[in-house]
């Protein structure tokens, strides 16, 4: 079993999860006498707030401890103890934020506590207030979870205060949300499983698959439609997503999903809309990777609409490399929307984590230069890039190898391919899906160069790749290969 990280790094790692606004709130929360007692952490909190503003720089956990210890005039041991206390306050803060900001979490906890104390008159008042709030609340999967519990507690309250007709109504509502929660949970789980199978990170069947095959989903949806039309449409939307990922590349349900999402999006929460946008984009990218290039324009239009509608929070999170910035740039370039890409880079590159920002911006701009036919400018920009992540290296390789190929600099390209091969071999942290994709690209380029140099014939090159799946290689490499063998 691995040991927990020492108090300072654990707290710093935790604080990095907070936005600037949340960090401000945390400092006030942690300074509260209710949580800190007589302890005055104001100086430590002020310093942590300042460090948070610049992403804690490049300071390691040990360096932060030593630096803060000197500045605050306390021993490292005392500082570690204080930071341990602050970390526990951080956990309480996260829970408090959830209670304050997530719809009906507070009401659920309050109703549960009142039920344990067998106080149903106050519960009835809370339920009436909850019913009024529900009218203006945006819908999402979290709300289904909260309402299932609330309607169960409501039925208990109505029973104990003698309102039996309302008791039956509450039970009926509870059963509908309970069934919807169960099915959407299964469908969401399976959608993620099918995506992981597609990317090579999972294989085989899971329990949810067996369960869904037993359920008569069509009959369930028809029953739900009779009792709650909106909940029916919500579950149906998740069912369409499940079917699309399961039956890939069959896309018959895609238009239905888009139409239903368009209808529901105004009534759903930002979190739910983000999730559906993500599913649509991921599905389209899967189709493109299978060679169905008509989805390139489709996914670009979805991304464009998503961003213009204000759903850009993933670009504001410190979750590199999974923040979609580079994906949006690559897709925009592939559909030749270069003006949109330039505007996107200008508006959103500043939101990238400071550590990765310069490299990502320059890589994106280098891709644009290359798309505009200026390999020289692209190569010049690549010289400024400091590699900080394996994706930085792979992206630089992609741009540089294309520039060298198109310039006919075959010897330099051979050297670049050898370096790339060695890099992939040395870096075990690179996921297998990415490793296989770029390994395929390196292999294809090597064979094309052999053909260019006369070491193999066109027939040998054609035979070599005729029966192989080249869709996982980079698009420009697949294109060059087709040009040579067709």
Domain-terminating residue out of 45, 70, 101: 101
Q: In this structure, what token pair is assigned to residue 275? A: 């999730």
Is there a single domain that holds both residue 20 and residue 97?
yes
Q: Please say whether the beta carbons of 88 and 37 come within 8 A.
A: no
Please indicate, yes or no, if residue 86 is contained in any of the structural domains: yes
Q: What percent of the chain is modeled with pLDDT above 90?
A: 64
For residue 149, pLDDT beyond 90: yes
Cα 300 to Cα 245, 281, 334, 380: the distances in Å are: 19, 9, 9, 29
Nearest residue to 321 via CA among 395, 424, 419, 421: 395
Is there a single domain that holds both residue 396 and residue 474?
yes
- pLDDT for 469 equals 56
Please indicate, yes or no, if residue 260 is contained in any of the structural domains: no
How confident is the model over 192-247, as pLDDT tens digits?
Answer: 999 999 887 888 999 999 999 999 999 999 999 999 999 999 999 999 999 999 99
Q: Using DSSP, state whether 268 is helix, strand or coil.
A: strand
Which residue in this structure is represented by tokens 């390209």?
Answer: 413
Is there a single domain that holds both residue 85 and residue 118?
no
Buried/exposed code over 60-77 (b: 16+ C-beta within 10 A; e: otherwise): ebeebbeebbeeeeeeee
Q: The domain containing residue 21 runs over which residues? A: 7-101
Is there a single domain that holds both residue 91 and residue 158?
no
- Band (pLDDT 50/70/90 cuts) for residue 1 is very low
Give, for 76, the enclosing helix (H) or strand (E).
Answer: helix 76-101
Domain-terminating residue out of 53, 77, 101: 101
For residue 5, pLDDT beyond 70: no
Q: Using DSSP, state whether 104 is helix, strand or coil.
A: coil
Is there a single domain that holds both residue 97 and residue 128?
no
How confident is the model over 345-373, as pLDDT tens digits?
Answer: 999 998 887 778 888 999 999 999 999 99
Please indicate, yes or no, if residue 278 is contained in any of the structural domains: no
Please indicate, yes or no, if residue 245 is contained in any of the structural domains: no
Domains: count for the chain: 3
For residue 32, pLDDT beyond 60: yes
How confident is the model over 98-124, as pLDDT tens digits?
Answer: 999 988 999 999 999 999 999 999 999
Is there a single domain that holds both residue 391 and residue 433?
yes
Q: State which of 44-48, 277-281, 385-389 shows the largest mean pLDDT.
A: 277-281
Residue 37 sits at φ, ψ, to 5 deg, of 65, -130
Please indicate, yes or no, if residue 199 is contained in any of the structural domains: no
How confident is the model over 400-457, as pLDDT tens digits?
Answer: 999 999 999 999 999 999 999 999 999 988 887 788 888 888 999 999 999 999 999 9
Is there a single domain that holds both residue 75 and residue 118?
no
Distance CA 164, CA 389 (A): 63
For the whole model, what pTM was predicted? 0.83
Query: Taking the CB of residue 289, how many other CB atoms lie within 10 A of it?
Result: 16
Residue 139 sits at φ, ψ, to 5 deg, of -90, 145
Please indicate, yes or no, if residue 53 is contained in any of the structural domains: yes
Is there a single domain that holds both residue 13 and residue 81?
yes
How confident is the model over 173-202, as pLDDT tens digits?
Answer: 999 999 999 999 999 999 999 999 988 788
Mean per-residue pLDDT for 26-30? 95
Domain-terminating residue out of 101, 123, 156: 101
- Band (pLDDT 50/70/90 cuts) for residue 51 is confident
Nearest residue to 270 via CA among 138, 102, 181, 146: 138
- pLDDT for 7 equals 53
Is there a single domain that holds both residue 88 and residue 119?
no
Please indicate, yes or no, if residue 403 is contained in any of the structural domains: yes
Mean pLDDT for all residues in the chain:
90
Residue 310 sits at φ, ψ, to 5 deg, of 95, 5
Is there a single domain that holds both residue 71 and residue 126?
no
Is there a single domain that holds both residue 478 and residue 394?
yes
Nearest residue to 385 via CA among 397, 376, 373: 397
For residue 126, pLDDT beyond 60: yes
For residue 293, pLDDT beyond 80: yes
Higher pLDDT, 314 or 300: 300
Please indicate, yes or no, if residue 30 is contained in any of the structural domains: yes
């Amino acid at each position: 079993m691995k040991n927990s990280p020492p108090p300072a790094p654990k707290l710093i790692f935790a604080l990095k999860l907070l936005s600037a606004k949340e960090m401000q709130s945390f400092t006030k929360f942690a300074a509260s006498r209710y949580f800190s007692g007589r302890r005055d952490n104001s100086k430590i909190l002020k310093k942590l707030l300042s460090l948070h503003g610049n992403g804690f720089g490049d300071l390691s956990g040990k360096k932060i401890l030593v630096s803060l210890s000197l500045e605050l005039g306390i021993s490292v041991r005392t500082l570690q103890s204080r930071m341990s206390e602050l970390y526990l306050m951080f956990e309480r803060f996260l829970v408090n934020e959830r209670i304050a900001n997530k719809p009906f979490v507070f009401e659920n906890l309050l109703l549960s506590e009142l039920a344990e104390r067998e106080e149903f008159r106050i519960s009835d008042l809370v339920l009436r207030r909850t019913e009024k709030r529900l009218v203006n609340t945006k819908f999402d999967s979290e709300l289904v979870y909260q309402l299932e519990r609330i309607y169960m507690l409501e039925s208990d309250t109505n029973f104990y205060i003698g309102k039996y007709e309302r008791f039956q109504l509450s039970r009926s509502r509870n059963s509908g949300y309970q069934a919807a929660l169960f099915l959407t949970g299964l469908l969401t789980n399976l959608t993620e499983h099918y995506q992981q199978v597609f990317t090579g990170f999972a294989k085989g069947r899971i329990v949810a698959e067996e369960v869904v095959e037993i359920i008569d989903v069509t009959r369930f949806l028809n029953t739900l439609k009779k009792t709650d039309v909106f909940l029916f449409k919500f579950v149906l939307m998740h069912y369409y997503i499940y079917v699309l990922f399961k039956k890939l590349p069959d896309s018959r349900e895609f238009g239905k999903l888009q139409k239903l999402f368009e209808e529901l999006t105004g009534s759903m929460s930002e979190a739910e809309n983000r999730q559906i946008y993500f599913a649509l984009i991921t599905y389209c990218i899967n189709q493109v990777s299978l060679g169905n290039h008509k989805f390139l324009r489709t996914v670009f239009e979805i991304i464009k609409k998503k961003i213009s509608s204000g759903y850009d929070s993933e670009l504001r999170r410190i979750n590199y490399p999974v923040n979609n910035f580079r994906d949006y740039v690559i897709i925009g370039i592939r559909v030749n929307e270069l003006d949109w890409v330039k505007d996107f880079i200008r508006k959103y590159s500043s939101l990238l984590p400071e550590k990765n920002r310069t490299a990502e911006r320059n890589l994106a701009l280098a891709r644009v230069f290359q798309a505009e036919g200026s390999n020289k400018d692209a190569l010049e920009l690549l010289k400024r890039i400091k590699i900080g992540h394996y994706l930085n290296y792979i992206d630089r390789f992609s741009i540089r190898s294309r520039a060298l190929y198109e310039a006919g600099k075959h010897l330099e390209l051979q050297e670049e391919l050898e370096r790339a091969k060695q890099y992939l071999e040395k870096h075990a942290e690179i996921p297998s899906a990415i490793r296989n994709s770029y390994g395929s690209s390196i292999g294809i380029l090597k064979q094309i160069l052999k053909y260019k140099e006369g070491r193999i014939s066109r027939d040998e090159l054609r035979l070599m790749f005729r029966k192989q799946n080249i869709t996982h290689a980079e698009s420009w490499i697949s294109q060059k290969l087709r040009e040579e063998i067709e």
